[in-house]
Amino acid sequence: MLGMIPLVFPIRGFSIFAPESNEYFIHGVASGDPTIEAVMLWTHINTTISGVCNVEWQVANDAAFKDIIKKGAVTTSSERDYTVKVDVSGLLSNQVYYYRFLYKNIISDVGVCKTMPVSLANALQIAVISCNNYEDGYFTSFRHIADNKDIDYVFHLGDYIYEYGTGQYANQTFLDESKRFNDPPNELVSLNDYRKRYALYRKDKELQKAHRTKSFICIWDDHELANNAYFGGAKNHQSNEGSWRDRSAAALQAYFEWMPVRAKSASEMIRSIKIGKDANFFFLEERLDGRDKQLLNNDPEKMSTQRKMISKKQLDYLSDGLKQSDARWNFLVNQVMFTGYQSKKEESVKEDDWWTGYPYQREQLIEVFEGLKNPPVILTGDHHQSHVLELNAPDEAANKKLVAWEFLTPSITSKNDDRLTSEQISKKSKLLYKLNPHMIYNDTASHGYFVLNVTKEQINISYKFNTNILLKDSAERQGPDFTIDNLNTLKKNV
């Protein structure tokens, strides 16, 4: 992917403004959901008018916009919070394009997007990220992603925003020093609340830079709605906060307005990307598509065959897709942990929000995994920690048979064990390895992301950690690096 480019360029009849004085485009630009011939473009018009805004858009082969290949005009208004989304089609596969928006003689920042390849003639590199909490630290990892010229796309696995009020879920020391407060200061309940929170996040310059330079493919998790959300409610939704139906509808509307996704409903977020016979990515939705309420770890009702993490329709879609896939590499782009692991103490009073809390459907999928020629790879967010896990199932001789791998990406900023001492972290890490022989790697306190590198012959996952999320100018350090070869052998690279 190309690196940083100039932000605005002169064209006849339009003025040039630096981003700081670009009054209409203060939330930047973004692209998302690329296909082999199309991409979604996004921006927001910062205005207080009550009428309709007419916005132009342009796509070019060059950063100077001398070779404009697509252009048009769209309208927006308060009904969609003055957000702008354009689905541009008729593009060439595996190509870098430049785009921008124009409104009232003002030009937006120039964005860079890239369509998908039809096959993996060259390596595909994807930054896999989740969990960016505004009040827990600076979003410097987004800048590191933007500056990495080798990264083609970004998979965001959810918790793009957090619904809590100021100080309710935060690093209080960081909050006191940075004054990086949530807007609105209250917990998000109404449509206006959710809209304001997205607007706040999208003013962040590091996040803007990542969106401007990389195409995002996103799924949501619970905090875009409310903590531990499920079909009929959420742990963080109380009866005095109105109906869950109204709140979740408001949350989804704001998400579809502010995120560069093609979907217009929860069901449309369940989708896949197939790259020839090389790679197949299945994006799951595990909150609103039929999930039953979470139960406590020791609740016997967990074993019920009626309990669902996802609807039967989605389960069949995923199962059939995996069985019929002719791709060498199959990936589940997944919100919450599938494999699971044992910690020091089983918390019987804790709600089990993972796939392990829905054992019947989990076992159904494991049976599907067992029947596949090659084990799938599960890419997971939510947990805020870095883990590499082998998923095993007993074979006919009661031996363990590898049926999948799971890689958990750490949080961008959201709390993990980062407030423990180094001695406490080391002690916990050693215990996790001792209790969990299927755990290949753990890091419970670092923040950042990993880069997934996919070729025809192998996949590589390289962890990238932020040196200090409490500093605006923090650097990035290299974490561990793993390879799965064509013989399905996982190796940790030195």
Taking Cα atoms as reference points, which of 378, 462, 470 lies closest to residue 177?
A: 470
At 327, list the tokens: 């791709």
Cα 136 from chain centre: 18
Count of alpha carbons within 13 angstroms of residue 260, beta-carbon side: 32
User: Which domains are delineated in the chain?
Assistant: 1-116 (2.60.40.380), 119-158+198-493 (3.60.21.70)
| pLDDT, tens only, 69-119 | 999 999 999 999 999 999 999 999 999 999 999 999 999 999 999 999 999
Residue 431 has what pLDDT? 95
At 211, list the tokens: 């969106």
| pLDDT, tens only, 43-72 | 999 998 889 999 999 999 999 999 999 999
Question: Is residue 371 predicted with pLDDT exceeding 90?
Answer: yes
Q: In one letter, which amino acid is 264?
A: K
Beta bridge partners of 331: 281, 377
Confidence of residue 347 (pLDDT cuts 50, 70, 90): low
Beta-carbon neighbour count of residue 364 at 10 Å?
15
The dihedral sign for the CA sequence 116, 120, 123, 125 = positive
Q: Quote the CA–CA distance of 474 and 144 in Å, as a whole number.
A: 10
Cα 102 from chain centre: 28
* This prediction's pTM: 0.95
Angle at 361 between CA 357 and CA 366, to 5 degrees: 105
Question: Is residue 304 predicted with pLDDT exceeding 50?
Answer: yes
| pLDDT, tens only, 193-230 | 999 999 999 999 999 999 999 999 999 999 999 999 99
What dihedral angle (degrees, nearest 10) is formed by the CA atoms of 313, 317, 380, 1?
-130
Question: Is residue 147 predicted with pLDDT exceeding 50?
Answer: yes
| pLDDT, tens only, 398-452 | 678 999 999 999 999 999 999 999 999 999 999 999 999 999 999 999 999 999 9
Of 1-5, 145-149, 293-297, 324-328, the poorest mean pLDDT is in 1-5
Q: Which residue has the tokens 């965001």?
A: 156
Spatial CB neighbours of 195, under 8 Å, sequence gap ≥ 6 = 81, 254, 257, 258
Whether 386 contacts 413, CB under 8 Å: no
Angle at 277 between CA 315 and CA 119, to 5 degrees: 120
Exposed/middle/buried for 181, CB within 10 Å: 0-12, 13-18, 19+? middle
Q: Quote the CA–CA distance of 85 and 20 in Å, as a whole number.
A: 23
Whether 450 contacts 463, CB under 8 Å: yes
Whether 474 contacts 138, CB under 8 Å: yes
Q: Quote the CA–CA distance of 73 and 51 in Å, as a whole number.
A: 16
Beta bridge partners of 436: none
